């Protein structure tokens, strides 16, 4: 459990956590993998959110998902990318968060990924929270905690039976 003081520090920067969907590269589930490859390589990210026509988050697609489709058991076939849709290869079992943010959940999820999709009602894609934004708050905490609070070590007393 995160202590209240630390939680308060993290939430001081909460308004900066969400990178709004307007500023996040996405693909639709009906885009072909050729388009996905172009988007992923041009923006330089290895994984991005996938939405449907209603702007609902339906998955994530990665560069490795796309590249895997070019390789058969005996050949390399980049032409295949034009005929396969993003929805056919995307990861569908994804972790999401909603606002207001639960900082403990965010920290736990960001251990294994670079970003967490944020959804609203009916899974409408709102944006992402990135590891980078959370690390900025960790940096703020590391530099400011002792300026704002007197921190003293608790004496540890071992219980005897």
**Cα–Cα dist 38/6, whole Å:** 41
pLDDT value, residue 73? 63
pLDDT value, residue 153? 85
Average pLDDT value for the chain: 91
Residue spans of the domains in the chain: they are 4-148
Low-confidence ranges of the chain (pLDDT < 50): none
Q: What does DSSP say about strands 125-130 and 47-51: parallel, antiparallel, or unpaired? A: unpaired
Question: 103: which DSSP letter?
Answer: H
Contact assessment for residue 53 and residue 78, using Cβ atoms and an 8 Å cutoff: no
pLDDT value, residue 137? 87
Q: Residues 6 or more apart from 13 whose CB is under 8 A from it?
A: 133, 136, 137, 140
pLDDT value, residue 20? 96
Q: How much is the pTM? A: 0.85
pLDDT value, residue 157? 78
CATH code for 4-148?
Answer: 3.10.580.10
- In the chain, % of residues over pLDDT 90: 65
Q: Residues 6 or more apart from 78 whose CB is under 8 A from it?
A: 70
49-80 pLDDT, tens per residue?
999 999 999 999 999 999 998 886 677 888 98
104-114 pLDDT, tens per residue?
999 999 999 99
């Amino acid at each position: 459990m995160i202590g209240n003081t630390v939680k308060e520090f993290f939430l001081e920067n909460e308004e900066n956590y969400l990178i709004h969907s307007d500023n996040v590269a996405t693909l639709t589930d009906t885009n072909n993998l050729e388009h996905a490859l172009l988007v992923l390589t041009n923006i330089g990210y290895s994984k991005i959110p996938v939405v449907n026509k209603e702007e609902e988050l339906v998955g994530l697609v990665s560069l490795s998902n796309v590249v895997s489709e070019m390789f058969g058991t005996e050949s390399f076939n980049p032409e295949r990318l034009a005929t396969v849709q993003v929805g056919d290869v995307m990861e569908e079992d994804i972790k999401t968060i909603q606002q207001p943010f639960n900082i403990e959940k965010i920290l736990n999820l960001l251990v294994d990924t670079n970003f967490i999709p944020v959804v609203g009602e009916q899974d409408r894609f709102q944006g992402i929270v990135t590891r980078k934004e959370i690390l900025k708050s960790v940096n703020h905490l590391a530099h400011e905690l002792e300026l704002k609070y007197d921190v003293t070590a608790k004496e540890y007393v071992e219980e005897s039976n």
